[in-house]
Amino acid sequence: MKNTKIVLVMLVVALVLGMTVVGCDTGTTNVSPTNGKKTTLVCLGDSATAGYNGTTRADNKSQSYPAYLQKKADNISVINAGVGGDTTEMALARVDSDVLSKNPDIVIILLGGNDFKGRFKGLSNETIIETAKSNLQKIINKIDNGNRKIYLANFFTDEMTKVTIPPGTLIEVPGGTTIETSQDDIDKYKNMYSVLAASSSNITLIEDVWTGIWGVHMSDALHPDAQGYEIMADNIYKVVQPYLETLK
């Protein structure tokens, strides 16, 4: 009888220990905030995202910054939603089909360069900025569901503006009118992105996408070459990497 009690006690202890071990399992499998599904990153933009090459005069998504970004981040799926020539208004019109339909966890937005061409149509600086800002805010509002991470890239960085549209640049518009850019004009473009980034805690501003590219690794006056797009991916990855590490 005494032996039977001892055996029962040992069985109970073994059972409790077994339950404890199972409950404290610290295996190597990580459960990410995406509940185990593949993390999806969508890059929304214009020709600078589509990988336009001024030499071949065509988009080459295989040598675009999203393609190079994919090589750096193998734990995510990168989708290139870049369309050459897109303004912020045109990109807004396709957010549902090209972005939201992919149910992304992360979205990178690089837009605004084509809106500046409104200066060539005689639009005022204030009108262009107001329109672009409004469209970008609408894009952000559509994408921001409270859980989705958004990266907003500043198109008009110091690196780009000092080469392409430095203060004093003369822009001819229809009717024979000439507009001279000022530092104030350029600062308003750049500051627009900072204001938009501050509109949601889910947004991180990418302030530097052109360093090491503009005026150096270009296929024409406005677009990077293949090496330039790779450098662009490096610049973006530096900002995005800390968040990607949390998903592993």
CATH classification of the domain holding 168: 3.40.50.1110
Condensed to tens digits (0 to 9), the pLDDT of residues 70-110 reads 999 888 999 999 999 999 999 999 999 999 999 999 999 99
Give this prediction's pTM. Answer: 0.82
Q: Is residue 128 in a domain?
A: yes
Cα radius of gyration rounded to whole Å, the chain:
25
Residues of the domain holding 135? 37-246
φ, ψ dihedrals at 57, nearest 5°: 55, 45
| Token pair in block for residue 181 | 């850019």
Q: Is residue 139 in a domain?
A: yes
Instruction: Convert 49-71 to b/e letters by CB count within 10 Å (16 or more is b).
Output: bbbbbeeeeebbeebbbbbbbbe
What is the C-alpha to C-alpha distance for residues 222 and 55, in angstroms, rounded to an integer?
11
Q: Is residue 26 in a domain?
A: no
Domain count, the chain: 1
- Strand stretches in 62-148, DSSP E: 76-82, 106-110
Q: Is residue 8 in a domain?
A: no
State the CB neighbour count (10 A cutoff) for residue 248: 10
Predicted local confidence at residue 138, as pLDDT: 98
Predicted local confidence at residue 224, as pLDDT: 95
State the CB neighbour count (10 A cutoff) for residue 26: 5
pLDDT tens, residue order, the chain (248 aa): 444 333 333 333 332 233 223 333 322 223 334 445 689 999 999 999 999 998 899 999 999 999 999 999 888 999 999 999 999 999 999 999 999 999 999 999 999 989 988 877 888 888 999 999 999 999 999 999 999 999 999 998 877 777 777 777 776 666 666 767 777 888 888 899 999 999 999 999 999 999 999 889 999 988 999 999 999 999 999 999 999 988 87
Predicted local confidence at residue 19, as pLDDT: 29
Task: State the DSSP code for 234.
Answer: H
* Integer CA distances (angstroms), 54 to 68, 137, 206, 223, 230, in order: 19, 30, 25, 6, 16
Q: Is residue 136 in a domain?
A: yes
Q: Is residue 103 in a domain?
A: yes
Q: Is residue 211 in a domain?
A: yes
Q: Is residue 190 in a domain?
A: yes
